[in-house]
């Protein structure tokens, strides 16, 4: 929401951040929980993401993010702009790299941040989770075994 819309009294929105593919699929599995909320997805401009999010508000992030410093910086600028111009209630993410700037900047602005570790990383933490962890309000995992890496996490069960 831009500054003009903020003044109209629209409710805050839930910012759902995730790379396309499996990360986005896990966010979409949360639909029964978030469908009553005003929301905006941050993901990549890929055919699957655009198709799956038809009719949803979207912000398109820069990719690839894996070990790409240029796109990390570009997504940092994007995150700063989105968080400054929209009334964000919380950031919820399943990763991957696109999540880092949104989680860090949201937390620095006092916005709650929720990370859901992906279901296919049971024995080792993901790089994104390790980077985001100091900036999280809540850490959620899908398997009890994942609590070995994240003892503070809450087990929510599998999303897919």
Degrees, nearest 5: CA angle 24-104-154: 60
The pLDDT of residue 9 is 74
Question: What pLDDT was estimated at residue 3?
Answer: 47
CATH 3.90.230.10 is held by the domain 3-155: no
Q: What is the pLDDT of residues 81-97, one digit of tens each?
A: 999 999 999 999 999 99
Q: Tell me, rounded to whole angstroms, the distance of Cα 64 from its chain centroid.
A: 16
* Residue 113, H or E segment: strand 113-116
Cα–Cα distance between 122 and 82 in angstroms, integer? 32
Please tell me the pTM assigned to this model: 0.92
Both ends of the chain: CA-CA distance in Å?
Answer: 31
- Using CA atoms, how far residue 44 sits from 22, 27, 154, in Å, is 12, 14, 28
């Amino acid at each position: 929401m831009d500054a003009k819309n903020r003044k109209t009294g629209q409710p805050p929105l839930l910012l759902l951040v995730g790379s396309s593919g499996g990360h986005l699929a896990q966010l979409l599995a949360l639909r029964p929980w978030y469908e009553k909320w005003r929301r905006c997805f941050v993901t990549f401009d890929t055919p699957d993401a655009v198709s799956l999010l038809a009719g949803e508000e979207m912000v398109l992030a820069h990719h690839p993010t894996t070990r790409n410093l240029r796109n990390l910086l570009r997504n940092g600028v994007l995150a700063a702009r989105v968080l400054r111009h929209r009334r964000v209630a919380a950031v919820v993410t399943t990763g991957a790299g696109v999540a880092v700037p949104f989680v860090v900047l949201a937390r620095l602005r006092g916005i709650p941040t929720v990370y859901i570790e992906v279901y296919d990383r049971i024995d080792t933490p993901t790089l994104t989770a390790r980077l985001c962890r100091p900036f999280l309000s809540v850490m959620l995992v899908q398997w009890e075994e994942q609590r070995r890496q994240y003892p503070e996490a809450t087990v929510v069960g599998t999303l897919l």
